[in-house]
Structure 1
Amino acid sequence: MIVVFGSLNVDVMIAVDHLPLPGETVLGPGYQLTAGGKGANQALAAARAGGAVTMIGCVGGDPLAETALTDLRAAGVDLSHLTTVADPTGLAAICVDKLGENHVVVASGANRQTKASQLSDSLLGPKTLLVLQMEVPLTENWAIIRRAKVKGTRVLLNVAPAAPIPTDVLPLVDWLIVNENEARQIAASLGNPIDDARTAAKFIAGASKTTVIVTLGAAGAAAYLKDGSDLSVGALKIQPVDTVGAGDSFVGGFAAAIDRGKDLAEALRYASVGGALACLHPGAQPSLPLQAAIEARLADLPA
């Protein structure tokens, strides 16, 4: 079972010719309103990739909440542990340019009220894979992780957006997933600023005694284990439409593969394909691929 503790948002997607510079106004032809939030995205990605998923988080008592939850319900995600609070449902404004690159600004709203107490101990244990990100109060993340490890729960932390992690929490994480910028930021927070993302990820793995996975865009991804060994995986050759959902699709696909008993190498391949396929369609949740689509492209991944 996969339990996702994290954020739920509604995304306002605006296509633009180029991303705005500071102080610049850029016009777009229209906008698209879709569900988002890293927690919800990863829960949906894992469910579409074949996982049994429970979502823990908060939404507001406003019309946007229904938009935030519709796709999760359709995918069979268990929403019985969500809480409705007085703050408005989280909202993200996303600009996407012609090359698929994006700027994202998030108004956290109800996500600020997400509490570790929402997650019952009955959902924790060796059969549970707990997935977390960094868009809810971080003290609640750390409290959940400490509780989870006492119960023998497997823990996957996606450090997005990047922020320092307590040194006593890092060794409790089984898989730490970061992008290149996040790898550099976490290494710097541990006292070792490193420009190269792979070197930074390797340093984090050695310092934290956990497996660190760094996503590398068109170069695929690499995993660095606490014993000093490493694995790498390539990426599908694609022409991206936008990259908004790529990281969350990678995390959700990885979680689904691990929860099905796949080893690290197999899970990396599954996640890499899922992340690439999410770049072929606009938006975060609308782009997340189904299990059959991922499996159909596994053979196309470079060895």
Structure 2
Amino acid sequence: MTDETTAQGRVPSIHVIGNIQLDVLAAPVTALPPAGGDTIIDRIDVRPAGAAGNVSLALAALATPHRLFGSLGDDYAGRWVLRELRRLGLDSGVRIVPGTATGISIALEAPRQERAFLTAHGVLDSWSADALPADATEADFVLLTGYFSLPGMRGDGTRDLLVRARGNGATTLLDTGWDPDDWRTSGVREIHDLLPLVDLFLPNEPEALALTGEPDAAAAAAALAEMSGGRVIVKLGERGAIAHLPGGGLLAVSAPATTPLDTTGAGDSFAAGLITALAESGHMNDALRLGVAVASTVVARPSHDRYPSRQELDPRL
């Protein structure tokens, strides 16, 4: 972050709360192997650290001060993820829960196909707002991300967290991820009920359409903004992002042409750029541009060199 501060003379604080886990990325996967078979693919990457961890890693690369909150299991996967977070100084709000397994997601990617996931939630099945330290919601910006990857936080748990954050004067942000029940059960109602407590809602385009039944992203953003009373930002992938602002204004930022290598976690990187710019300038146009810049850079980079610094971002973005 730059030296720019708030009117009160301090740098705004940012807390990221959500699913920290191990991610396994396999590509290209166009079909599962037959029983007893072994299909050879181009690559399998293993990396930290779930939606919340991804946001935190991207913030760290941007040199944006923040804290990360979540839980890991006490297995090998959890200890490895914690070690990687500790190496970057991101572990102060992360705890190991004895006797539990770490959440793991396997992302199956292929050209011209929507990603698919295999997930074991592990400790995230039971992790709840009660496990968070009291100061987790004491920040200027509080982002809860990976809602549907946090079964123990769904519904009342998230409501209580957002109420606490709002009571502490925070700007609240929510990124749900995709409903594993494909929005056929309680998912839509849960999010609709939470939206009045959300200052910035961050769905991607398929999520926004599923939550509203609207035919396009702009109409979906408007419908979601009416429910929440706050700002709604819809991530459009390779087309950039749009924001529906109070008063009905619509702001759009396009994305540059890139050759995507790995799109898993792009939305998390967008959130990191967005929050960084909001904390620095407070201007939504700056926030959308930095969010798109970070996400566009991340999708074109490999797992071992994924998150860009400010200096590495294309100045055209």
Residue 31 of structure 2: aligned partner: 20
Q: Which of 1, 8, 11 in structure 1 is aligned with 2:20? A: 8
Whole-angstrom CA distance in 2 between matches of 1:98 and 1:70:
33
Aligned-pair Cα RMSD in Å: 2.4
Q: Which of 50, 56, 66 in structure 1 is aligned with 2:69? A: 56
- CA positional deviation for 1:19: 2.5
Q: Which of 216, 236, 242 in structure 2 is aligned with 1:216? A: 236
Whole-angstrom CA distance in 2 between matches of 1:90 and 1:41:
14
Q: Which of 194, 200, 204 in structure 2 is aligned with 1:175? A: 200
Residues 78 and 96 of structure 2 are in contact (CA less than 8 Å); yes or no, is this contact kept in structure 1?
Answer: no
Whole-angstrom CA distance in 2 between matches of 1:22 and 1:253:
38
Q: What TM-score results when the alignment is normalised by the length of structure 2?
A: 0.83
Question: Which shifted more, 175-184 or 68-77?
Answer: 68-77
- CA positional deviation for 1:113: 2.5
Residue 262 of structure 2: aligned partner: 242
Structure 2: stretches of 5+ with no match in the other structure? 1-12, 180-186
Q: Does 1:185 align with 2:210?
A: yes
- In structure 2, do the counterparts of structure 1 residues 166 and 242 end up closer, same or farther at CA, with 3 Å as the change threshold? closer
Residues 71 and 94 of structure 2 are in contact (CA less than 8 Å); yes or no, is this contact kept in structure 1?
Answer: no
1:266 maps to a residue whose letter is D
- CA positional deviation for 1:194: 1.2
Question: Secondary structure in 2 aligned to 1:281?
Answer: coil
Whole-angstrom CA distance in 2 between matches of 1:248 and 1:100:
20
- CA positional deviation for 1:101: 5.8
Residues 19 and 51 of structure 2 are in contact (CA less than 8 Å); yes or no, is this contact kept in structure 1?
Answer: yes
Following TM superposition, the consecutive aligned residue runs of length 4 or more in structure 1 with deviations greater than 4 angstroms are: 21-26, 98-101
Whole-angstrom CA distance in 2 between matches of 1:23 and 1:185:
33
- CA positional deviation for 1:200: 0.8
Residues 61 and 308 of structure 2 are in contact (CA less than 8 Å); yes or no, is this contact kept in structure 1?
Answer: yes
- CA positional deviation for 1:274: 0.4
Q: Does 1:300 align with 2:316?
A: yes
Comparing both chains, which one has the higher relative contact order based on Cα–Cα distances under 8 Å and sequence gaps of 6 or more?
1
Residue 289 of structure 1: aligned partner: 308
Q: What TM-score results when the alignment is normalised by the length of structure 1?
A: 0.87
Residue 7 of structure 2: aligned partner: none
2:276 maps to a residue whose letter is A
Paired positions, count: 290
Structure 1: stretches of 5+ with no match in the other structure? 188-192
Question: Secondary structure in 1 aligned to 2:24?
Answer: strand
Whole-angstrom CA distance in 2 between matches of 1:146 and 1:166:
15
- CA positional deviation for 1:75: 2.7
Residues 44 and 71 of structure 1 are in contact (CA less than 8 Å); yes or no, is this contact kept in structure 2?
Answer: no
Whole-angstrom CA distance in 1 between matches of 2:113 and 2:311:
25
Whole-angstrom CA distance in 2 between matches of 1:93 and 1:206:
35
2:166 maps to a residue whose letter is K
1:10 maps to a residue whose letter is L
Residues 100 and 242 of structure 1 are in contact (CA less than 8 Å); yes or no, is this contact kept in structure 2?
Answer: no
Residues 15 and 66 of structure 2 are in contact (CA less than 8 Å); yes or no, is this contact kept in structure 1?
Answer: yes
Residue 283 of structure 2: aligned partner: 263
Residue 103 of structure 1: aligned partner: 116
Residue 154 of structure 1: aligned partner: 171
1:138 maps to a residue whose letter is R
Residue 77 of structure 1: aligned partner: 90
Q: Which of 100, 107, 110 in structure 2 is aligned with 1:94? A: 107
Overall identity of the aligned pairs, in %: 28
Question: Which shifted more, 270-279 or 230-239?
Answer: 230-239
- CA positional deviation for 1:247: 0.9
Could you give the per-residue CA deviations for residues 232-271 of structure 1, whole angstroms, max 9, x where no partner exists?
A: 1111221111211211100111122222234111011000
Whole-angstrom CA distance in 2 between matches of 1:219 and 1:31:
27
Q: Which of 60, 63, 86 in structure 2 is aligned with 1:47? A: 60
Question: Secondary structure in 2 aligned to 1:280?
Answer: coil
Residues 70 and 132 of structure 2 are in contact (CA less than 8 Å); yes or no, is this contact kept in structure 1?
Answer: no
- CA positional deviation for 1:82: 2.4
- CA positional deviation for 1:115: 1.9
Whole-angstrom CA distance in 2 between matches of 1:173 and 1:23:
45
Whole-angstrom CA distance in 2 between matches of 1:83 and 1:70:
11
